[in-house]
Amino acid sequence: MIRDVTIIGSGCAGWTAAIYAARASLNPLLITGMQPGGLLTTTTVVENFPGFKEGVDGYNLMAEMQAQAERFGTEVKFLTKVTAVDLSKKTFMITVDETTEIETRTLIIATGARHRHLGVPGEHELENKGVTYCATCDGALPMFRNQPLVVVGGGDSACEEAMYLTRFGSTVYLVHRRDSLRASRIMADRLLANPKVQPVWNSAVEEVIGGDSVTGVRIKDVHTGVASTLDCAGVFVAIGHVPNTEVFAGQINLHESGYVQQHEGSRTNVPGVFVAGDCADSVYRQAITAAGMGCIAAIDAERYLAALDAEA
């Protein structure tokens, strides 16, 4: 059986693409990957997704999107991993779990991106208990209001996170390995002029401290080796993202950073292959922007198939 549309990824982009493709009677197949629902399932409260005035649990939001996609006829392959792709022919071949092969006329890549982690003790254990990777998503939560907060990083993303958090935290410590920021000059100047921001130069986080919630971080001066502790209620890690695109290397054009190159809406350099969500978006990385990109990808795939059928 040759599929009309196959979607790889089950975050906001993937489920939205599935909803639109299914409603267009394209009978899409969605491959969830090993983390159904993607990163949003690890977020307890999503307060900035339209339509939920009290916020919504990230897992529940993904479950509702899944149910909506299945209602319109999306077929789902759960807990499966794409291990190889062949996009060299008109009909694409997707290999799942190294054994199952799926043929498809179009492909929507919605594999998302994963947070780059510090890899220090306490980070994983205190995730969702004060350790977070998105200030826009979590910064306004009550647990962080009027509390000292730590942002780790020195680029534009870290500066944007820290600036955003000054609205809520009492003090925002910006911990960076160097003695100057890598961010753009205008961003760095604006941040350092904010009285709530305290840069912690030449320092690296060695451990996140806490029990039921974050209470501080242990840091070390990278030059002197002297260790110290910063008391805080939240640790916002902003050291970048890693797009989940390794399996497509050599098959489609990727940026040096690994993000999929897109043009003319959701199109890639391979006709019939479309992209949506955080695997192509290194700037916004929000649930709502990923959903919008999923919509675009499904509509582009539908129009591509209609044009192919008209030519036949």
- Catalytic option among 138, 156, 278, 281: 138
Is 232 in the active site?
no
The identity of residue 126, as a single letter, is L
Output 54-60 pairs: Cβ under 8 A, ≥24 positions apart: none
Angle between helices 185-192 and 156-165 (to 10 degrees): 30
Enter the tokens of residue 13. 């982009």
Gyration radius from the chain CA atoms: 21
Closest CA to 269 of 37, 43, 109: 109
Return d(Cα 168, Cα 149) in angstroms, integer: 9
- Catalytic option among 4, 86, 97, 137: 137
Q: How far is CA 107 from the centre of its chain?
A: 20
Is 138 in the active site?
yes
14 with 8: CB under 8 angstroms?
Answer: yes
- Catalytic option among 4, 12, 86, 134: 134
146 with 170: CB under 8 angstroms?
Answer: yes
65 with 38: CB under 8 angstroms?
Answer: no
Sheet holding 214-221, edge to edge: 203-210, 214-221, 227-231
Instruction: Count CB-CB contacts under 10 A for residue 194.
Output: 12
Q: Taking the CA of residue 94 as centre, how many other CA atoms within 13 Å lie in the half-sphere pointing to its CB?
A: 26
Is 12 in the active site?
no
Return d(Cα 280, Cα 184) in angstroms, integer: 22
Enter the tokens of residue 23. 């409603």
φ and ψ at residue 209, rounded to 5 degrees: -105, 140
Active-site positions read 134, 137-138
